[in-house]
Structure 1
Amino acid sequence: MIARKATSGVACMELHVGPLFDRISHVNPELDHSLCARYPQIFSDRDAPKRLCAMGRGFEVGDGWYPLIDLLCRALQRETGCRGAPQVMACQVKEKLGSLRFRVRHASERQHAMITFAEAVSTRVCDVCGVAAWPGHATDATGAPRCRQHGDPGRIG
């Protein structure tokens, strides 16, 4: 439900997600901490208030995508350190429509290409365990890719 609220004479939008937000999967706390510790510049907004920054909600993906996100961040940070590319800052990391969404600020064209590639790869990786999953095989109700073990055998694509 969307409600309008006036603040200082300016109309603002507030989204009330209710119980839907409770069903969003998140990387377990140890993996969350590991990513933030390894890439503090990329995830500098991780502890920002949830109402101000989507990254404050954490990594809204399953544990199976941790290696993919780790590899992406390593490549993004190497691009900054070795090639002088801008320092990428993550705004949001989530699953949407069966693929990774890695939203950033301050990325070069090459860094955006890396992100696009990782998002495409995510559609073929089980978001629970990280093994191969195929689009149209067995997914969960949200469309996240799943392997044979974690998918719903009665659900196709």
Structure 2
Amino acid sequence: MKEELNEKLFHEFPALFESCYGSKPKDPLYYWGIQCGDGWYELVHSVSELLTRHNPEIESEQIKEKFGGLRFYHTHGDDYASGVVEMAGHISFQICEACGDPGIKRDHDGYISTLCEKHKGRKSKAIGKDLAATTPIDDDIGNGWLRLIVALKKIIKWDVEKNGMPPVVDLTIKKDNGQLHVEFSGGDQSTKGMVDLIIHYSKKIDEHSGHIITATIREKSNEIGS
């Protein structure tokens, strides 16, 4: 991620990043910054804001791309923080790391990354799926938000079946006054973290296209997929 975007995050969330940027200059984040493309800036920002709001004592240890997905390692975590981070990692496979537009996971000569058509590179092979394209379209909700909704449902189902999350019932997703709303009962604090993440991020993208609408980083991004 560009130095200017690193600096914006470090200065907006000083407590979250101090241990690896301020008082411990030998830590990886100080030397290398946030190790992902500019296109995930808004996603990292959403995670940072939610974690800081939830518990000011949470500290980032390392943020990077791994196997095409976002990894956000932190201390003082709990179920809510785990839900936020898990959801962000899951939807990162639908967000181009270079520019923030909708993307899918791709294999570029053995290197896995999540990129859009523009940034995919000539030799890349698609190995992921567009969740909006593989799901019946809700007439009332655009594809930009639909990707988030499908990801949320998939990860809730997985965690209930495989990880012991209490069943989530009465999951209601709707658009109200131009905003995405999610209501549910059951689940746990991890579920709440997942829901809060997609609601927070949905406000940063166009409902229909999925393009970032709160920043200009798409115009400044490097062609990391070339």
Cα-to-partner distance string for 1:39-94 (whole Å, 9 max, x where unaligned): 001101224333xx22222101110000000011111112126xxxxx21011011
| Alpha-carbon separation, structure 2, partners of 1:139 and 1:131 | 19
Q: Hey, which of these two has a bigger chunk of helix by percent? A: 2
Match of 1:30 in 2: 4
| Alpha-carbon separation, structure 1, partners of 2:109 and 2:102 | 15
Cα-to-partner distance string for 1:2-56 (whole Å, 9 max, x where unaligned): xxxxxxxxxxxxxxxxxxxxxxxxx111101100011001101224333xx2222
| Alpha-carbon separation, structure 2, partners of 1:101 and 1:127 | 13
Match of 1:60 in 2: 35
Deviation at 1:153, TM superposition (A): 3.9
Q: Aligned pairs, how many? A: 123
Once superposed, which parts of structure 1, at least 4 consecutive aligned residues long, lie more than 3 Å away? 138-141
What secondary structure sits across from 2:47 in the alignment?
helix
| Alpha-carbon separation, structure 2, partners of 1:140 and 1:30 | 30
Structure 2: runs of 5+ lacking an equivalent: 128-226
Match of 2:21 in 1: 46
Match of 2:73 in 1: 103
Query: Which residue of 110, 121, 144 corresponds with 1:152?
Result: 121
Two-structure CA RMSD over aligned residues (Å): 1.8
Structure 1: runs of 5+ lacking an equivalent: 1-26, 82-86
**When the two structures are superposed, what TM-score results if normalisation uses the length of structure 1?**
0.72
Confirm whether residue 72 of structure 1 aligns to residue 41 of structure 2.
no
**When the two structures are superposed, what TM-score results if normalisation uses the length of structure 2?**
0.51
Q: Structure 1 76/140 Cα, relative in aligned 2: closer, same or farther at 3 Å?
A: farther
Contact 2:95 2:114 in 1 (8 A): yes
Relative contact order (C-alpha < 8 Å, sep 6+): which is higher? Answer: 2
User: How high is the sequence identity, in percent, across the aligned residues?
Assistant: 27
